[in-house]
Amino acid sequence: MIELNELTKRYGETVAVDRLSFQVRPGRVTGFLGPNGAGKSTTMRMMLGLDRPTSGEVRFDGRPYARSADPLRHVGALLEAKDVHSGRTAHNHLLWLAQSNRIPRRRVREVLELVGLESVAGRRAGQFSLGMSQRLGVAAALLGDPPVLLFDEPVNGLDPEGIRWIRDLMKELAGEGRTVFVSSHLMSEMALTAEHLIVIGRGRLLADTGMKEFIARNSLTFVRVRTPEPDRMHQVLTERGITVTRAADGALEAVGDQAATIGELAARQGLTVHEVSVQSASLEDAFMRLTEQDVEYRSPVSRTVGQQGERQPTGQGKES
């Protein structure tokens, strides 16, 4: 288990991480989300002692990372895929890590096979693509067979097969009872991988909850209605007290999941409908809704889309 207690990092007057406290429990994949500039990478670096906290502490199974005599046997991490001596071969990079942590030599071959790099074990790391470097970084994280694993943007540079592989690997590792903590900007991938979420904004904790609970709490389910009589349908629904907006393609979007009610109303009024379907909320929708006040870097295009294209019900950036 990973425990953060009041973890804080200041750079002069700037607070990058603000009294952050949470636990990452074993047996499940925990996702770590936040807008650009939220403090995710700073937090992960402090967890591993690469940055010194201004205050607070981090413990892995009850002790700080720095107190581990053989840290790779306790915590495996991938923070920066290209942070490898470019002149060393993949095999020799892993070999020196193994020797420094008293890990058997045979383990090098095992992890190279596990990540699919056995055929290029003799190639220099400087010749690797980003995807190959990511696989090498995963191999280094797994080298000591640790009970705790941290991955920062592990799917960067991977092709679709590689993305599915790392997703399945993280689930398998968690299924073995390990603590798996992963940061990513890819909402669709995180939705398929993580069971629990830690969300931060401007260095502060915004959410510590299960995936399903997070989506349900921070997004709106709506019913999409397509009809050749949208104005009349809009009037019928609003008179019933249902909040309705128009989508860009002319369809109506009614807040809630009352598809049966809407279908019955249309039938009673003799309205023709071509579609009545419940649109489930997504992790991306929930994330954007929760963090909209904590985005540090917002492009003009994003503002335009937010003002014109997003659903607005009536009445209602790499330092990461």
Average pLDDT over residues 83-107: 94
User: Does 134 score more than 50 pLDDT?
Assistant: yes
CA gap 188, 87 in Å, rounded: 36
Q: Contact at 8 Å (CB) between 312 and 245?
A: yes
CB atoms within 10 A of CB 182: 25
Map tokens 């920066």 to a residue. Answer: 80
> What is 221-279's CATH number?
3.30.70.980
pLDDT, one tens digit per residue, over 294-306 is: 666 555 544 333 3
User: Does 247 score more than 90 pLDDT?
Assistant: no
Q: Which CATH superfamily is domain 2-210 in?
A: P-loop containing nucleotide triphosphate hydrolases (3.40.50.300)
Q: What pLDDT shows up at residue 300?
A: 55
Q: What pLDDT shows up at residue 50?
A: 93
Q: Contact at 8 Å (CB) between 33 and 197?
A: yes
Average pLDDT over residues 259-277: 91
pLDDT, one tens digit per residue, over 44-60 is: 999 999 999 999 999 99
Q: Which of 148-162, 215-229, 246-260, 281-295 has the lowest mean pLDDT?
A: 281-295
Q: What pLDDT shows up at residue 307?
A: 37
Give the domain ranges of the chain.
Answer: 2-210, 221-279
pTM: 0.78
Which distant-in-sequence residues (6+ apart) come within 8 Å of 9 by Cβ? 15, 16, 17, 39, 42, 43, 46, 51, 53, 54, 203
Burial per residue of 204-216, b for 16 or more beta-carbon CB atoms within 10 angstroms, e otherwise: bbbbbbebeebbe
